[in-house]
Amino acid sequence: MKKIFAVLALTLLLMPGIVLAQAPAGCSWEGNPAMRYGWGQYDGIPFNQPGPDYATVFAGATLDYTLAPYNATPYYAAACNLDDTLCFHLYETAGWTIVCDPPVGTPEILPAGGYIWWQNILITAPCDASVGDKDTLIAKVAYTNIAGVCAPECGDCHDPDVRPATGIPYYNADTLYIEVVASPPALGVFQDTLTLVDRGQTQAY
Protein backbone atom coordinates (compact mmCIF):
# COMPACT_ATOMS: atom_id res chain seq x y z
CA MET A 1 0.00 0.00 0.00
CA LYS A 2 2.87 2.39 0.83
CA LYS A 3 4.34 1.73 -2.61
CA ILE A 4 1.01 2.62 -4.24
CA PHE A 5 0.86 5.95 -2.40
CA ALA A 6 4.49 6.67 -3.28
CA VAL A 7 3.81 6.03 -6.97
CA LEU A 8 0.67 8.20 -6.83
CA ALA A 9 2.57 11.06 -5.20
CA LEU A 10 5.33 10.86 -7.81
CA THR A 11 2.73 10.83 -10.59
CA LEU A 12 1.10 13.99 -9.22
CA LEU A 13 4.44 15.74 -9.05
CA LEU A 14 5.18 14.92 -12.68
CA MET A 15 1.74 15.85 -14.05
CA PRO A 16 1.73 19.16 -15.97
CA GLY A 17 -0.55 21.88 -14.69
CA ILE A 18 -0.47 20.73 -11.08
CA VAL A 19 0.75 23.49 -8.79
CA LEU A 20 1.87 22.24 -5.39
CA ALA A 21 3.63 25.41 -4.21
CA GLN A 22 2.46 26.89 -0.95
CA ALA A 23 2.29 30.46 0.24
CA PRO A 24 5.36 31.62 2.20
CA ALA A 25 5.08 31.96 5.96
CA GLY A 26 2.90 34.90 6.92
CA CYS A 27 1.15 34.92 3.54
CA SER A 28 -2.05 33.44 2.18
CA TRP A 29 -3.14 32.77 -1.38
CA GLU A 30 -6.91 33.03 -1.74
CA GLY A 31 -7.11 34.94 -5.02
CA ASN A 32 -4.94 35.17 -8.12
CA PRO A 33 -3.21 38.55 -8.76
CA ALA A 34 -2.64 39.59 -12.36
CA MET A 35 -2.51 42.75 -14.46
CA ARG A 36 -5.62 43.01 -16.65
CA TYR A 37 -4.39 46.20 -18.35
CA GLY A 38 -0.72 47.15 -18.15
CA TRP A 39 1.35 50.07 -19.38
CA GLY A 40 0.56 49.25 -23.00
CA GLN A 41 -3.20 49.62 -22.77
CA TYR A 42 -3.12 52.46 -25.32
CA ASP A 43 -0.89 50.70 -27.87
CA GLY A 44 -3.78 49.06 -29.74
CA ILE A 45 -3.40 45.73 -27.93
CA PRO A 46 -6.35 45.22 -25.57
CA PHE A 47 -4.55 42.90 -23.17
CA ASN A 48 -1.43 42.90 -21.04
CA GLN A 49 0.89 41.22 -23.53
CA PRO A 50 4.28 39.81 -22.50
CA GLY A 51 7.24 42.14 -22.76
CA PRO A 52 7.99 45.72 -21.70
CA ASP A 53 6.43 48.94 -22.97
CA TYR A 54 8.19 52.15 -23.97
CA ALA A 55 7.40 55.87 -23.74
CA THR A 56 9.08 59.23 -24.31
CA VAL A 57 8.63 62.42 -22.31
CA PHE A 58 9.81 66.04 -22.36
CA ALA A 59 11.67 67.45 -19.35
CA GLY A 60 9.09 68.70 -16.85
CA ALA A 61 6.21 66.93 -18.62
CA THR A 62 3.84 64.37 -17.07
CA LEU A 63 2.69 61.01 -18.41
CA ASP A 64 -0.73 59.74 -17.32
CA TYR A 65 -1.48 56.00 -17.17
CA THR A 66 -4.41 53.95 -15.93
CA LEU A 67 -3.67 50.31 -15.11
CA ALA A 68 -6.07 47.59 -14.02
CA PRO A 69 -4.97 45.18 -11.28
CA TYR A 70 -7.02 42.01 -11.48
CA ASN A 71 -8.16 38.98 -9.49
CA ALA A 72 -7.81 36.42 -12.29
CA THR A 73 -9.77 33.65 -10.61
CA PRO A 74 -11.62 32.47 -13.76
CA TYR A 75 -8.37 31.46 -15.48
CA TYR A 76 -7.03 28.97 -12.96
CA ALA A 77 -9.64 26.84 -11.26
CA ALA A 78 -7.30 24.44 -9.43
CA ALA A 79 -6.52 26.86 -6.62
CA CYS A 80 -6.38 30.55 -5.68
CA ASN A 81 -9.91 31.09 -6.95
CA LEU A 82 -11.52 33.01 -4.08
CA ASP A 83 -12.07 36.60 -2.98
CA ASP A 84 -8.84 38.23 -1.85
CA THR A 85 -7.25 41.46 -0.69
CA LEU A 86 -4.65 42.55 -3.24
CA CYS A 87 -2.49 45.64 -3.62
CA PHE A 88 -0.54 47.64 -6.20
CA HIS A 89 3.23 47.94 -5.85
CA LEU A 90 5.56 50.10 -7.94
CA TYR A 91 9.33 49.86 -8.40
CA GLU A 92 11.01 52.99 -9.87
CA THR A 93 14.69 53.58 -10.58
CA ALA A 94 15.39 57.28 -11.30
CA GLY A 95 13.62 59.11 -8.48
CA TRP A 96 11.14 60.97 -10.69
CA THR A 97 7.90 62.31 -9.21
CA ILE A 98 5.26 59.56 -9.11
CA VAL A 99 1.69 60.10 -7.91
CA CYS A 100 -0.62 57.08 -7.59
CA ASP A 101 -4.36 56.95 -6.95
CA PRO A 102 -5.12 54.86 -4.93
CA PRO A 103 -1.75 55.26 -3.17
CA VAL A 104 0.80 52.47 -3.63
CA GLY A 105 0.24 49.63 -1.17
CA THR A 106 -3.44 50.35 -0.53
CA PRO A 107 -5.28 47.05 0.16
CA GLU A 108 -8.11 46.48 -2.31
CA ILE A 109 -10.71 43.75 -1.81
CA LEU A 110 -11.50 42.01 -5.10
CA PRO A 111 -14.23 39.36 -5.32
CA ALA A 112 -13.68 36.17 -7.25
CA GLY A 113 -14.88 36.23 -10.83
CA GLY A 114 -12.38 38.48 -12.56
CA TYR A 115 -12.87 41.84 -10.85
CA ILE A 116 -10.48 44.78 -11.29
CA TRP A 117 -9.81 48.22 -9.90
CA TRP A 118 -8.50 51.25 -11.79
CA GLN A 119 -5.04 52.41 -10.75
CA ASN A 120 -4.07 55.89 -11.96
CA ILE A 121 -0.36 56.77 -12.19
CA LEU A 122 1.15 60.19 -12.99
CA ILE A 123 4.86 60.20 -13.90
CA THR A 124 6.64 63.57 -14.08
CA ALA A 125 10.14 63.96 -15.49
CA PRO A 126 12.36 66.50 -13.68
CA CYS A 127 12.45 69.99 -15.19
CA ASP A 128 16.25 69.77 -15.34
CA ALA A 129 16.28 66.34 -17.00
CA SER A 130 18.63 65.98 -19.94
CA VAL A 131 17.82 64.45 -23.30
CA GLY A 132 18.54 60.74 -23.03
CA ASP A 133 17.80 60.45 -19.30
CA LYS A 134 15.83 57.28 -18.55
CA ASP A 135 13.54 55.85 -15.92
CA THR A 136 12.23 52.32 -15.44
CA LEU A 137 8.99 51.47 -13.67
CA ILE A 138 7.73 48.00 -12.78
CA ALA A 139 4.07 47.80 -11.81
CA LYS A 140 3.10 44.72 -9.81
CA VAL A 141 -0.13 43.32 -8.41
CA ALA A 142 0.61 41.58 -5.12
CA TYR A 143 -1.01 39.82 -2.20
CA THR A 144 -1.33 41.40 1.19
CA ASN A 145 0.08 39.33 4.04
CA ILE A 146 -1.99 37.92 6.88
CA ALA A 147 -1.58 41.26 8.69
CA GLY A 148 -3.21 43.06 5.75
CA VAL A 149 0.00 44.78 4.61
CA CYS A 150 0.99 44.91 0.93
CA ALA A 151 3.59 42.16 0.50
CA PRO A 152 5.11 41.54 -2.96
CA GLU A 153 7.41 39.02 -1.26
CA CYS A 154 4.40 36.72 -0.84
CA GLY A 155 4.86 35.68 -4.47
CA ASP A 156 2.07 34.35 -6.66
CA CYS A 157 0.35 30.99 -6.72
CA HIS A 158 0.15 30.96 -10.53
CA ASP A 159 1.90 33.26 -13.02
CA PRO A 160 1.19 33.83 -15.84
CA ASP A 161 -2.53 33.17 -16.01
CA VAL A 162 -3.66 32.14 -19.49
CA ARG A 163 -7.11 33.11 -20.69
CA PRO A 164 -8.64 29.87 -22.02
CA ALA A 165 -10.66 31.50 -24.81
CA THR A 166 -7.69 33.29 -26.38
CA GLY A 167 -4.50 31.77 -25.00
CA ILE A 168 -3.36 35.26 -23.97
CA PRO A 169 -1.17 35.30 -20.84
CA TYR A 170 -1.74 37.74 -18.01
CA TYR A 171 1.25 38.44 -15.77
CA ASN A 172 1.27 39.97 -12.30
CA ALA A 173 3.83 42.62 -13.33
CA ASP A 174 4.54 44.90 -16.28
CA THR A 175 7.57 47.06 -17.10
CA LEU A 176 7.72 50.56 -18.60
CA TYR A 177 10.88 52.19 -19.98
CA ILE A 178 10.78 56.00 -20.34
CA GLU A 179 13.31 58.23 -22.10
CA VAL A 180 13.56 62.03 -22.08
CA VAL A 181 13.49 63.56 -25.58
CA ALA A 182 14.06 67.10 -26.82
CA SER A 183 11.18 69.49 -26.27
CA PRO A 184 9.62 71.10 -29.36
CA PRO A 185 10.82 74.64 -30.19
CA ALA A 186 9.06 77.50 -28.44
CA LEU A 187 6.01 78.83 -30.26
CA GLY A 188 6.52 82.34 -31.62
CA VAL A 189 3.62 84.68 -32.48
CA PHE A 190 4.20 87.24 -35.21
CA GLN A 191 1.76 90.11 -35.83
CA ASP A 192 1.87 92.53 -38.75
CA THR A 193 1.22 96.26 -38.38
CA LEU A 194 -2.49 97.04 -38.63
CA THR A 195 -3.30 99.33 -41.56
CA LEU A 196 -6.70 100.89 -42.21
CA VAL A 197 -7.82 101.11 -45.87
CA ASP A 198 -10.89 102.99 -47.09
CA ARG A 199 -13.49 100.89 -48.84
CA GLY A 200 -12.83 100.76 -52.57
CA GLN A 201 -9.24 101.98 -52.24
CA THR A 202 -6.07 100.00 -52.92
CA GLN A 203 -3.19 100.06 -50.51
CA ALA A 204 0.25 99.78 -52.08
CA TYR A 205 3.37 98.50 -50.30
Give this prediction's pTM.
0.77
Q: Note whether residue 119 is domain-resident.
A: yes
What is the DSSP code (8-state) at residue 73? G
Q: Note whether residue 83 is domain-resident.
A: yes
Q: Residue 128 belongs to a domain with what CATH number?
A: 2.60.40.2310
Q: Note whether residue 57 is domain-resident.
A: yes
Q: Note whether residue 151 is domain-resident.
A: yes
- pLDDT tens-digit map of 76-130: 767 899 999 999 999 999 999 999 999 999 999 999 988 999 999 999 999 999 9
**69 in Cβ contact with 116 (< 8 Å):** yes
Residues of the chain with pLDDT under 50: 1-20
- Number of independent structural domains in the chain: 1
Q: Note whether residue 38 is domain-resident.
A: yes
pLDDT at residue 140, rounded to an integer: 96
User: DSSP for 7-36?
Assistant: HHHHHHHHSTT-----PPTT---SS-EEEE
Q: Note whether residue 17 is domain-resident.
A: no
**Beta strands 62-71 and 97-101, pairing class:** unpaired
pLDDT at residue 144, rounded to an integer: 96
CA distance 185 to 173: 37
pLDDT at residue 48, rounded to an integer: 56
pLDDT at residue 116, rounded to an integer: 94
Q: Note whether residue 134 is domain-resident.
A: yes
153: domain range?
32-180
The half-sphere exposure of 141 on its side-chain side, counting CA atoms within 13 A, is 36
pLDDT at residue 41, rounded to an integer: 64
Q: Note whether residue 20 is domain-resident.
A: no
